[in-house]
């Protein structure tokens, strides 16, 4: 008993007991109060280091000073779109996939960089473009980002889309979508797949504890830490000296599901509007409200190699892409969307490792075509 009494009285023991009690209390408190929204507001970006020109994304953080995380608030608080809107600014948000984000492109080679360098004006206002593209093709992911971005007072949204983003089975693929279920369900009119309940992340009580949220908390911390190195180097992705060019010869062996099949669809089955997520695009346009939306069918690589009479590229058989363009045009007309189809506007030589990733010159060409589409004569 004397030994036990001494142990209890030991300063080390008291510290351990108090630490354990505090740890338990913090876990219980997090079941009631979620601290992540408040912690997401804490950012070194925009004052200690420059704000990022693209949303955080990456899986090789130690080499590129970047990382993927699930907090939209933290992502936007690291981005330059959070800066105060100037009185003479006409704010344009660019939505889309990795081609807009700029895989393999330096920040000064992306679509928004070239558009900003054009110094476009609309009346007496200066157009400023913000890169809100995010890798992975999914219209639902774009609507989620659009919903958060409306807080930053856009005057125009340019939404770059491609057929793959309309695939129903792609809508909930991005981790960013599946981990933001409450925000997703709060978007009025946004249709969700029938299996959404089983695919969206619904945290249990253990997931809401300090232990359960340790990854999210660590991501918030590392975003700030990497910001310091990023601010010095400007590196937010790994730039390899070489890359594997996008496939231009198409052999049956490369397409085990069928050379001309797209997802579960075969060329014998004509494409119908209900097989594509047009209702998600419409939900995004409606969510934008009074903010005009320009929908751009983004350029794709068009092969001239083996079996190019059957496929445009690795992503798309010709039959399905041709029918998609007709359906997109018809949907735009019936829903009164402003649409610009730029699908074949960039030479095949200006694509890199993917049917939608552009070289710096290709990005510059696309910027000039989008600039010519925007109505600069309106006040």
State the Cα–Cα distance between residues 54 and 101, nearest whole angstrom. Answer: 6
Identify whether 38 is part of a domain: no
Same domain flag for 29 and 54: no
Q: What is the DSSP string of 105-155?
A: --GGGSHHHHHHHTT-EETTEEEEEEE---SS--HHHHHHHHHHHGGG--S
What does the pLDDT read at residue 19? 59
- Tokens linked to 269: 């089955």
pLDDT tens-place string over residues 138-194: 999 999 999 999 999 999 999 999 999 999 999 999 999 999 999 999 999 999 988
Same domain flag for 205 and 261: yes
Identify the residue with better confidence: 292 or 269. Answer: 292
Identify whether 80 is part of a domain: yes
Provide the domain count of the chain. 2
Which CATH number characterizes residue 264's domain? Answer: 3.40.50.1110
Identify whether 378 is part of a domain: no
State the Cα–Cα distance between residues 343 and 298, nearest whole angstrom. Answer: 5
The yes-or-no verdict on residue 205 having pLDDT over 80 is no
Same domain flag for 118 and 16: no
Tokens 């948000």 identify what position?
93
CA triplet 371, 278, 248: central angle to 5 degrees?
65
Same domain flag for 98 and 52: yes
Same domain flag for 89 and 122: yes
What does the pLDDT read at residue 214? 83
State the Cα–Cα distance between residues 54 and 129, nearest whole angstrom. Answer: 11
Identify whether 112 is part of a domain: yes
Same domain flag for 15 and 132: no
Same domain flag for 1 and 125: no
Q: How many helices (H) and strands (E) does the chain have?
A: 15, 6
Mean pLDDT calculated for residue range 277-287: 98
Same domain flag for 325 and 359: yes
State the Cα–Cα distance between residues 333 and 46, nearest whole angstrom. Answer: 42
Identify the residue with better confidence: 44 or 33. Answer: 44
Identify whether 379 is part of a domain: no
Identify whether 203 is part of a domain: yes
What does the pLDDT read at residue 355? 98
Same domain flag for 82 and 208: yes
Other beta carbons within 10 Å of 114: 21
Nearest to 96 by CA among 50, 49, 149: 149
Other beta carbons within 10 Å of 258: 12
Cα–Cα distances (Å) from 287 to 172, 315, 351, in that order, read: 19, 29, 33
Same domain flag for 185 and 296: yes
Q: What is the DSSP string of 245-288?
A: PPP-S--GGG-TT-TT-BTTB-TTS---GGGTTHHHHHHHHHHH
Q: Which domain holds residue 366?
A: 44-373
Same domain flag for 26 and 70: no
pLDDT tens-place string over residues 367-379: 999 999 987 666 6
Same domain flag for 108 and 221: yes
């Amino acid at each position: 008993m004397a030994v036990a009494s001494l142990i209890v009285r030991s300063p080390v023991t008291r510290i351990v007991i108090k630490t354990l009690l505090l740890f338990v209390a913090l876990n219980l408190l997090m079941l009631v109060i979620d601290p992540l929204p408040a912690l997401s507001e804490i950012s070194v970006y925009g004052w200690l280091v420059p704000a990022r020109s693209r949303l955080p994304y990456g899986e090789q953080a130690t080499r590129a000073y970047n990382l993927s995380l699930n907090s939209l608030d933290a992502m936007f608080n690291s981005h330059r779109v959070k800066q105060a809107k100037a009185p003479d600014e006409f704010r344009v948000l660019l939505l889309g996939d990795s081609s807009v984000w700029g895989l393999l492109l330096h920040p000064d080679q992306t679509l928004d960089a070239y558009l900003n360098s054009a110094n476009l004006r609309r009346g007496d206002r200066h157009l400023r473009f913000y890169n809100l593209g995010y890798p992975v093709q999914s219209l639902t992911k774009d609507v989620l980002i659009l919903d958060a971005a409306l807080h930053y007072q856009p005057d125009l949204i340019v939404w770059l889309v491609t057929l793959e983003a309309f695939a129903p089975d792609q809508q909930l693929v991005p981790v960013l979508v599946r981990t933001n279920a409450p925000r997703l369900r709060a978007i009025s009119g946004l249709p969700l797949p029938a299996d959404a309940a089983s695919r969206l992340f619904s945290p249990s009580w253990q997931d809401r504890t300090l232990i359960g949220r340790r990854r999210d908390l660590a991501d918030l911390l590392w975003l700030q830490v990497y910001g310091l190195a990023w601010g010095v180097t400007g590196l937010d992705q790994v730039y390899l000296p070489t890359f594997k060019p996008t496939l231009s010869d198409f052999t049956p062996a490369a397409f085990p599901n069928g050379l001309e099949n797209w997802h579960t669809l075969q060329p014998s089955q004509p494409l119908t509007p209900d097989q594509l997520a047009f209702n998600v695009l419409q939900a995004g346009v409606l969510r934008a409200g009074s903010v005009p939306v320009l929908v751009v069918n983004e350029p794709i690589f068009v092969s001239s190699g083996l079996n190019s009479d059957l496929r445009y590229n690795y992503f798309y058989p010709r039959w399905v892409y041709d029918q998609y363009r007709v359906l997109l045009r018809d949907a735009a007309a019936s829903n009164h969307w402003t649409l610009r189809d730029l699908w074949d506007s960039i030479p095949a030589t200006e694509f890199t490792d993917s049917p939608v990733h552009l070289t710096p010159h290709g990005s510059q060409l696309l910027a000039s075509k989008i600039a010519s589409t925007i109505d600069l004569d309106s006040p």
